[in-house]
Chain A
Amino acid sequence: MNSIQQIFQKQDQNLLSIFFTAGFPELNQAAEIIDKLGRSGVDFIEVGLPFSDPLADGPTIQHSSTIALKNGMNLDIVFKQLEAIKDTNTTPLVLMGYINQIIKYGEEAFCQKVVDCGIDTLILPDLPMVEYEEHYRALFKKYGLTNVFLITPQTSEERIRKIDELTESFIYMVASSAITGAKGEISQQQIEYFERIKSMNLQSKLIIGFGISDHKTFSKACEYGNGAIIGSAFIKSLDQKGVAGIEGFIQTIKR
């Protein structure tokens, strides 16, 4: 059982996951951010690998990537930082990056580094299912890594079923057909979509992301999924209040 599956075994409701970009706001803050998030009661953390051309991210996260890259962040530094806290950090980590970073780093070398950091789950938003099945599934399996797929309001039932079959931990359920970015509201249309997915009785756990920004949207998402991911709203908080504001931010979400 991997680190994320263990989380779900302990608790499968109201799980809070936070996304942040490694290297933002400052180059060497990842360890401190992870530590503070863990102490504040975050269940698992997505660490974003900053990329120059992040197609699936909105302006807030893209901005954080640009700053992180300007700060000199790169894959070797991220891996070094994460490996250093491997034995002390108790909050499971998920890596989120783009496929070009893996191809360029060397697919095998990348996977080995991820394992060395004690991480077993990846989110690669531009890795489509067909590529996963034909190539990456075998590669990831060799290193004991699992891949998280995304579904959206436009994903067909047939495709969701197939993704459910391929999923070993959780499905990242995109709350709206929009790029990430804090919205602050969950519409009736979104609720209908959440209900539709819930009624499919998938074997996979569901974590809802995109547009989750505060206590209200988080609680609403948790009614339909096993938990939710907050990204842009957290990045904004980091931007404004720095690491000192982390505990307060998480408290407002969890209340």
Chain B
Amino acid sequence: MKYNPDENGYYGQFGGAFIPELLYPNVKEIEDNYIQIIESEEFQEEYKALLKDYVGRPSPLYLAKRLSEKYGATIYLKREDLNHTGAHKVNNTIGQILIAKKLGKTNIIAETGAGQHGVATATVCALMGLDCTVFMGEVDIERQAPNVARMRMLGAKIIPATSGSKTLKDATNEAIRYWIQNPETFYLIGSVVGPHPHPDMVARLQAIISEEMKWQLKEKTGKENPDTIIACVGGGSNAAGAFYHYLEDEEVELIAVEAAGLGVDSGESAATSQLGEVGVIHGSKTILMQDEYGQIVEPYSISAGLDYPGVGPLHAFLHDTKRAKFMNATDEEALQAAYELTKIEGIIPALETAHALAVLPKMDLKPDQTIVINLSGRGDKDLETYIKHLED
């Protein structure tokens, strides 16, 4: 299909594998094997069984009646927040850990920002009895203490990234460096970013979200497709999963919501599609936030899961071809959306997810419009932020 990468890993002009020769054998091993493994019956059986009994899938497609009433449309929430470990991240880590096992890898490394991917990785490593090392920015380690404790309890070793801005981007650099020096390890990347084939591998593993949406919506409404799908985008893994099986159904409107931070033009933002330009980050040609000399700029968002200076190459392509519409929400708008969902539906969403909800007031909705919002994660990890801002 036209939204799959070509043989060099390109979605249109985006993607590829801009990696040092040092990394070539590591990436090549995965490239040569990932599709075959994912499509094998053995993998599918094990993956689907774990998703069902361990993760708790299928995640419900919930008709949010009061939210629908408020906005004058039919709004469904895809409840990824109900997954084990609290977000969509585990769909990917379950899949990749099975691929790692198939490739005979026993040492797993991962990067993490807010800690959600780190927790999801530490969880599957505990499940499989594999060694887990998580790279996390020194600043994020301080900001996300509960997740750090969870990872340690799960048996993971945390290595602080002390270079650069000491956040997600630097944790990713450190993970890649470690991978180069320890080619026998498996780098379990957390989003649809990095060199080919990582964006495609992660998208295929998150595609379970839209695979379920298809039959769930049909069952509930008799409709083949929703009119609109909304998902938040940092690197873009939950959006890739929610869009995946609808990419070719051009009549389905896809909306990707980025974090505007204090405002797109405030200088404190993570709205990559608005502020970024074409370049190469973490081995992938995409849109990224950079200065006039190509130095990568540190983004800002209240949400630690959305402050990535790039966006996955698939999303850069969806933006470029206008297949997806890119919107954004500020910190304040996201907070309000989170409080609103909590009050009228009794669901506390993750701060990342709240950005997706926050575009509803900005849209021109019609009563017969069916919308699915990917509720990518739950807000337990963000309670401190929510409480602090409620008091302000």
Contacts and interface: CB of A to CB of B under 8 A. Distances in A.
A74 B290 CA distance: 13
Interface in B1-59: 8, 16-22, 24-25
Given A126-B18, A126-B20, A179 B181 contact: yes
A75 B83 CA distance: 48
Given A128-B17, A130-B8, A178-B181, A152 B293 contact: no
A53 to B, nearest CB: 5
Contact of B280 (A99, A134, A150): A99
Contacts of B282: 53, 55
Q: In this complex, which of A52, A75, A127 has the most chain B Cβ atoms within 10 angstroms of its Cβ?
A: A52
A104 interface: yes
Given A52-B164, A53-B281, A101 B173 contact: no
A131 B18 contact: yes
Interface string A110-131: 0000000000000001111011
B295 interface: yes
Interface of B: 8, 16-22, 24-25, 163-164, 169, 173, 176-177, 180-181, 183, 277-283, 285, 288, 290, 292-296
Q: Would you call the interface of chain B mostly helix, strand, loop, or mixed?
A: mixed
A-B interface, 10 closest residue pairs, ranked by CB to CB distance from nearest: A104-B294, A56-B20, A52-B295, A150-B21, A101-B294, A154-B25, A100-B280, A74-B293, A100-B279, A100-B294
Interface residues of A, number: 40
A74 B293 CA distance: 7
Contacts of A51: 294-295
15 contacts: A53-B296, A55-B176, A55-B282, A56-B20, A66-B164, A74-B293, A99-B280, A100-B279, A126-B18, A126-B19, A151-B21, A156-B25, A174-B21, A177-B181, A178-B181
A29 to B, nearest CB: 19
A165 B282 CA distance: 28
Contacts of B24: 128, 152, 154-155, 159
Contacts of B19: 55, 126, 128
A156 B25 CA distance: 9
Contacts of A104: 277, 279, 290, 292-294
Contacts of B277: 104
Query: Which residue of A74, A99, A104 has the most chain B CB atoms within 10 A of its CB atom?
Result: A104
Chain B CB count within 10 A is highest, among A56, A59, A130, A150, for: A56
A24 interface: no
Q: Which of A55, A76, A105 has the most CB of B within 10 A?
A: A55
A53 B18 contact: no
A75 B283 CA distance: 21
A27 interface: no
Interface of A: 51-53, 55-56, 58-59, 62, 66, 69, 74-76, 98-105, 125-128, 130-131, 134, 149-152, 154-156, 159, 174, 177-179
B219 to A, nearest CB: 45
Nearest to B178: A179
Contacts of B17: 128, 130
Contacts of B169: 53
Contacts of A56: 20, 22, 180
B294 A103 contact: yes
Contact of A103 (B25, B181, B279, B283): B279
Contacts of A52: 164, 295-296
A159 B21 CA distance: 10
B173 A53 contact: yes
A77 to B, nearest CB: 10
A43 to B, nearest CB: 23
Contact of A150 (B22, B25, B176, B290): B22
Nearest to B7: A130
A125 B294 contact: no
A126 B283 contact: yes
Contacts of A125: 20-21
Given A62-B163, A100-B280, A126-B280, A179 B177 contact: yes
A100 B183 contact: no
B21 A178 contact: no
Nearest to A50: B295
A154 B22 CA distance: 8
B163 A59 contact: yes
Contacts of B18: 99, 126-128, 131
A105 B22 contact: no
B295 A69 contact: yes
Contacts of A155: 21, 24-25
Contacts of B16: 128, 131
Given A55-B173, A178-B180, 15 more contacts: A52-B296, A55-B283, A56-B20, A56-B180, A100-B281, A100-B294, A126-B18, A128-B19, A128-B24, A131-B18, A152-B22, A154-B24, A155-B24, A179-B22, A179-B180
